[in-house]
Amino acid sequence: MSEAAAAGRPVMGIGACLAGKAVRYNGQTKSPNDHVRGLAEAFELRSFCPEMGIGMGVPRAPIHLVGIPGKVRALDVETHSRDYTDQLAGYAGTVLELAPELCGYILVKGSPSCGYDRVKRFADNGYGIASDLQGVFAAALAKADPLLPLEDDGRLNDPGLRESFVTRAYAYHDWKQVCSSGLSAHTLIGFYSRYKYLVMAHHVPGYQKLGRLVADAGKQPLQPLAAEFIGEFMASLTQRATLRSHTNVLFHLAGYLKRTVPAAERQRLKDLIEQYRLGHIPLVVPLTMLKHHFANNPNAYIEGQVFMSPYPDELKLRNLI
C-alpha cells in the first residue's frame, strides 16, 4: 500500500502528460485545465504514461487508431507497420497491479491510448473516418476494472460530470478501505447505511434494489452478494443527481428536525429548499442550513450520512447553480 493510501487520502490515476511530465510523442507536456489542477488538492495523483510504459520512448513516432469497429489497431502514423495495440491494452493490467488503491483515473482527451471517448479513427489509407473510439489503454482499463470511475480532462469541464466523478471516486475509495479492513455482513450493512441518502439522490430504483440486497447480508454467501452490491452501487452513483432528486433528499433530512427545531426555523429551511428546487440558489445553501441545525441538534445517523459531505467542501462542487 502506498503512503498516500495508508494515510487515507484517495489515490487518483492520471495521464502523465497531464501531470506535467514531458512524455508526449514530441517531448511536450499537456497543460491541465483548472479543474484537473483543482482535483490535485483532493486526491493523491499517481501518473502513468502507457506509451512510455511499453517502452516507446520519447520523442517517438506518433500513433493513431486504424480500422473498423471491433478490429481497430493502434499503429504508427507514418507507415502503419508497427502495431502497439496489445501492449497498450496489457499496460492497463500493469497499472492496476502497480496501484491497486486507485479510486479513479483522469484520462487524456483525444489520445489514441488514453482518450475517454470520441478518439479519431482512420482508414488504412490514413484518412480520418470518424471520432467514435476510446483509446486502447482507456478501453482496457475500463474492462479490467469496470467499477473504476474514469473521465478525461475535457469532460471534467462539465460541472455535472466533474461532481459525479469526484463523488464516485471518493465512494470507491471508501469501499476499498472497508474491503481492506475485512468485509463482513456487518460492515456491508454499515457501509450502505452511510450512503443511503447519497444513492437516493442519484437513483431511486438503485436505492431500492440496494436495500433489498443488503437485507440479504448474513443470509446469502458474502462474496457474490458484495460483488453484486458494489456493481449496483457504483452504477447508481453514475446516474446524475438532479434538482428534483436532491430536493427529495433535503426534505427527507429536514424531516429529522421535526421534533427538535421550532416551526418558524423549519419553515425558513423549507423556503431555502424550495428556492434550490427552483434553481435560484446552489445546493450548498440549504445544505449549510441543514448542517447548522444538525450541529445544534446532533443526530448520529445523519452525521454519518455521506450525502452531507461526499468529498472535501473546498472543491466547491455544490456551489454552482
The only residue of 10, 13, 32, 50 in contact with ligand SF4, by rule CB under 6 A? 50
Residue with cell 462542487: 317
DSSP labels, 188-215: HHHHHHHHHHHHHHH-HHHHHHHHHHHH
24 binding ligand SF4? (CB under 6 A): yes
Binding span for ligand SF4 by CB under 6 A among 93-101, 108-116, 122-130, 207-215: 108-116
Q: Give the Cα separation of 216 and 195 in Å (integer).
A: 17
Least distance between ligand SF4 and beta carbon 251 (Å)? 45
Helices marked H in the chain: 3-6, 34-39, 50-53, 85-98, 136-144, 159-180, 185-202, 204-215, 222-238, 243-255, 263-277, 284-296, 300-303
Least distance between ligand SF4 and beta carbon 97 (Å)? 18
Size of the site for ligand SF4 (CB under 6 A): 12
| Cβ distance to ligand SF4 smaller for residue 58 or 308 | 58
What cell was used for 62?
506518433
The only residue of 10, 42, 43, 51 in contact with ligand SF4, by rule CB under 6 A? 51
12 binding ligand SF4? (CB under 6 A): no
163 binding ligand SF4? (CB under 6 A): no
Q: Give the Cα separation of 61 and 77 in Å (integer).
A: 7
49 binding ligand SF4? (CB under 6 A): yes
| Cβ distance to ligand SF4 smaller for residue 108 or 200 | 108
Binding span for ligand SF4 by CB under 6 A among 3-11, 109-117, 176-184, 193-201: 109-117
Q: Give the Cα separation of 117 and 39 in Å (integer).
A: 21
Least distance between ligand SF4 and beta carbon 311 (Å)? 25
The only residue of 5, 23, 234, 287 in contact with ligand SF4, by rule CB under 6 A? 23
User: Among residues 305, 312, 40, which one has the least CA distance to residue 170?
Assistant: 312
What cell was used for 58?
520519447
The only residue of 54, 66, 99, 108 in contact with ligand SF4, by rule CB under 6 A? 108
The only residue of 64, 75, 95, 113 in contact with ligand SF4, by rule CB under 6 A? 113
Q: Give the Cα separation of 272 and 276 in Å (integer).
A: 6
| Cβ distance to ligand SF4 smaller for residue 136 or 269 | 136
The only residue of 11, 12, 16, 119 in contact with ligand SF4, by rule CB under 6 A? 16
**HEC string of 43-97?**
CEEEEECHHHHCCCCCCCCCEEEECCCCCCEEEECCCCCCECHHHHHHHHHHHHH
89 binding ligand SF4? (CB under 6 A): no
What cell was used for 221?
454467501
| Cβ distance to ligand SF4 smaller for residue 23 or 287 | 23
What cell was used for 225?
452478494
The only residue of 10, 13, 15, 286 in contact with ligand SF4, by rule CB under 6 A? 15
Least distance between ligand SF4 and beta carbon 309 (Å)? 32
Q: Please work out, in degrees rounded to the nearest 5, the angle formed at the alpha carbon of residue 138 by the alpha carbons of 136 and 139.
A: 65
Least distance between ligand SF4 and beta carbon 50 (Å)? 5
Which residues here bind ligand SF4, judged by CB under 6 A?
Answer: 15-17, 23-24, 49-51, 108, 111, 113-114
